[in-house]
Structure 1
Amino acid sequence: METILDVKNLHVTFDTYGGSVQAVRGVNFSLKKGETLAIVGESGSGKSVTTKALMGLVAKPAGRIPQGEILFNGKDLVQLSDKEMQKVRGKEMSMIFQDPMTSLNPTMKIGKQIMEGLILHQKLSKQAATKRALELLELVGIPEPQKRINQYPHQFSGGMRQRVVIAIALACNPQVLIADEPTTALDVTIQAQIIELMKDIQAKMGTSIIFITHDLGVVANIADRVAVMYAGKIVEVGTVDEVFYNPKHPYTWGLLGSMPTVDSADEKLVAIPGTPPDLIHPPKGDAFAARNEYALAVDFEEEPPLFKVSDTHYAATWLLHEDAPKIEPPQAVKRRMKGIAAEGREQS
């Protein structure tokens, strides 16, 4: 499959009174046409900052990209001016945010909000834009679009508002759709509907999706590949099956172990001890070492490279070094790995 997006050695820094926060530290990943890549990790791991950098939405002057490339269809987005990025945003790349009420203008009818991008980027007439807006409302499953197009955001439920946000994001047929925890604020039933909607839209339009979430059950349902982030770095990346059935990084084990499943209802959840490191002063060696019960002496001295597990599976842990002791995930984690993957597939 054709690679549509290639991120190379991306760094994002925020200058604060306390010092420079190294929020993203040398991230590399690619996205293929029609693929869904899930980025997972705890809050503060750098997921949202990474995707905001892709969209040129890192808040300036505090936020900056000191180094790295974001190659989109061969052009480096890091080098584009704000004006040039405005032509990319909404037209070629779109983003769905976590809370639809922060994305929608409460004083503007939703039809007008959908039409804005169509008139700006597609140069459609008002009549043509209205027709397309009605088609988009129908596409995302909003009943009575003729009536709904003239209503305001407060007249919609949370799930319906999220559908409107998706309609706005899809208005100009973007090649890449970034979804930043789009189901977190919704109840479980509506979550499943939104995930199903996104899968359906991807099948119809061939859109590439970057899906940010902390819910591994959602990942099993929607993603082709998974990138696990910790302390501003990708520590493991692979296909869904590789990450769920053969995870190699102890942090991935911790994430899987902390997720409840139907089969493990009687078991205690496996908590990851400690807290993420201070990224004003990132620790020496492996950033996860202080929280890792399997840490080796070298973890506190030297940062591990991404070791190759297969052609599609890599993990940054010294446990994969040929001289390291052979350590398997705990049994409780193994049971959850299978349970989460199975439940995700049952929903799909």
Structure 2
Amino acid sequence: MNKIIEVKNLEISFDTFAGKVQAIRNVSFDLYQGETLAIVGESGSGKSVTTRSIMGLLASNANIENGEILFNGSDIVKKSEKEMQKIRGKDISMIFQDPMTSLDPTMPIGRQVAESLVKHTKISKKEALKQALELLNLVGIPNAEKRLKNYPHQFSGGQRQRIVIAIALICYPQVLIADEPTTALDVTIQAQIIELLKDIQQKMNSSIIFITHDLGVVANVADRVAVMYGGKIVEIGTAREIFYNPQHPYTWGLLGSMPTLESTGKRLYAIPGSPPDLLKPPTGDAFYPRNEYAMKIDTEKEPPFFDVSPTHKAATWLLAPQAPKVIPPEEIQIRWKKFKENAFGE
């Protein structure tokens, strides 16, 4: 498969009144043609900052201190804002979490969907509106032709998210970044949006980066999964490898804390402690203060990636040849089993 995006050794910091926050620390991954890569982790793990750097949408106090972001072989990091404006919305688009903050309340939705097409191509506004109508029908807006002149407040939450998806897709981008697009929606609408994205991806053969903290969503949408913690990727593999053979203790904790149909009335597992302070990143493995299996080396030296399979690797000293054999607690394994049965039907 062709690589659409290659992120290499990316390091991003933010200047704050308290000091320099090391938000992204040596992150590398690839995105292939037609695949969906999910990036998961707790709030503050670096998911959104990583993907916003691909869009060139970092805050003014952000510094890309090292690394490359290659899009079709060209380094985005070195491009000017004017050059990024030609890429953003046309070749790489983003679906944001809250559609009400993404949509202009003063502009009819037909014009909002067509706007990017008018900007990036030479077609007329009339033709752009025609294509906007086709896309609104594709994403499932009822009576789309009659509603082109309606404003965002005249639509439901699920319909607004569909409109945001239409805006992101209007130029048929090669890469679609979905930043927790279903978080603000109820479960039924979530399922509809996920199915919509999968259907559109098949029709357009686009590549998707899907940011979420909901592993239930990941099981239904992702080909590969990258797990982030403390500004780093700590495990990456195919969806089945991450769900069936997780290797990093943090991934164990994420999977163990997922509710299942059988967990009603039961206390959910919670990872002890808090994420690291990235003003002063810890020496060694950033997860060691929360890791009940941490060894002395975890406090002294950052673990490299160990290969589990050709497509699966994890950064944990537990995979070192000399490390003791450790298996996750029975409580977590039971939750995995139930979750996998619900998610994969197995």
Judged with a 3 Å threshold, the aligned counterparts in structure 2 of structure 1 residues 205 and 284 are, in CA distance, closer, same or farther, namely: same
Query: Aligned residue for 2:117?
Result: 118
Confirm or deny that 1:43 pairs with 2:39: no
For residues 142-166 of structure 1, give each alpha carbon's deviation from its aligned partner in whole angstroms, at most 9, with x where no partner exists: 1111111110000000000000000
Query: Aligned residue for 1:301?
Result: 300
Question: What SS class does the counterpart of residue 309 from structure 1 fall into?
Answer: strand
Deviation at 1:266, TM superposition (A): 5.7
**Matched letter for residue 72 of structure 2:** N
Deviation at 1:331, TM superposition (A): 1.6
Question: What SS class does the counterpart of residue 329 from structure 1 fall into?
Answer: coil
Distance in 1 (CA, whole Å) between partners of 2:139 and 2:133 is: 10
Deviation at 1:267, TM superposition (A): 4.4
Deviation at 1:64, TM superposition (A): 1.4
Question: What SS class does the counterpart of residue 182 from structure 1 fall into?
Answer: coil
Contact persistence 1:106–1:154 (CA under 8 A): yes
Query: Aligned residue for 2:33?
Result: 33
Question: What SS class does the counterpart of residue 24 from structure 1 fall into?
Answer: strand
Query: Aligned residue for 2:57?
Result: 57
For residues 166-213 of structure 1, give each alpha carbon's deviation from its aligned partner in whole angstroms, at most 9, with x where no partner exists: 000000000000000000000000000000000000111111000000
Distance in 2 (CA, whole Å) between partners of 1:16 and 1:266 is: 42
Distance in 1 (CA, whole Å) between partners of 2:261 and 2:327 is: 23
Distance in 2 (CA, whole Å) between partners of 1:72 and 1:121 is: 18
Alignment of 1:156-175 (within 5 A): 156-175=155-174
Question: What SS class does the counterpart of residue 300 from structure 1 fall into?
Answer: helix
Query: Aligned residue for 2:133?
Result: 134
Identity of aligned residues (%): 68
Alignment of 1:238-277 (within 5 A): 238-265=237-264, 267-277=266-276
Query: Aligned residue for 1:80?
Result: 79
Confirm or deny that 1:231 pairs with 2:236: no
Contact persistence 1:219–1:344 (CA under 8 A): no
Distance in 1 (CA, whole Å) between partners of 2:167 and 2:81 is: 21
Gapped runs of 5+ residues in structure 1?
Answer: none
Distance in 1 (CA, whole Å) between partners of 2:130 and 2:305 is: 49
Contact persistence 1:39–1:210 (CA under 8 A): yes
Query: Aligned residue for 2:332?
Result: 333
Contact persistence 1:244–1:338 (CA under 8 A): no
Query: Aligned residue for 1:187?
Result: 186
For residues 207-250 of structure 1, give each alpha carbon's deviation from its aligned partner in whole angstroms, at most 9, with x where no partner exists: 10000000000000000000000000000000011100100000
Distance in 2 (CA, whole Å) between partners of 1:330 and 1:27 is: 29
Deviation at 1:16, TM superposition (A): 0.6
Distance in 2 (CA, whole Å) between partners of 1:280 and 1:124 is: 49
Distance in 2 (CA, whole Å) between partners of 1:199 and 1:284 is: 41
Distance in 2 (CA, whole Å) between partners of 1:122 and 1:337 is: 48
Deviation at 1:263, TM superposition (A): 3.4
Contact persistence 1:231–1:276 (CA under 8 A): yes
Distance in 1 (CA, whole Å) between partners of 2:52 and 2:112 is: 21
Query: Aligned residue for 1:207?
Result: 206
Distance in 2 (CA, whole Å) between partners of 1:283 and 1:163 is: 42
Distance in 1 (CA, whole Å) between partners of 2:203 and 2:168 is: 15
Query: Alignment RMSD, CA only?
Result: 0.9
Query: Aligned residue for 1:13?
Result: 13
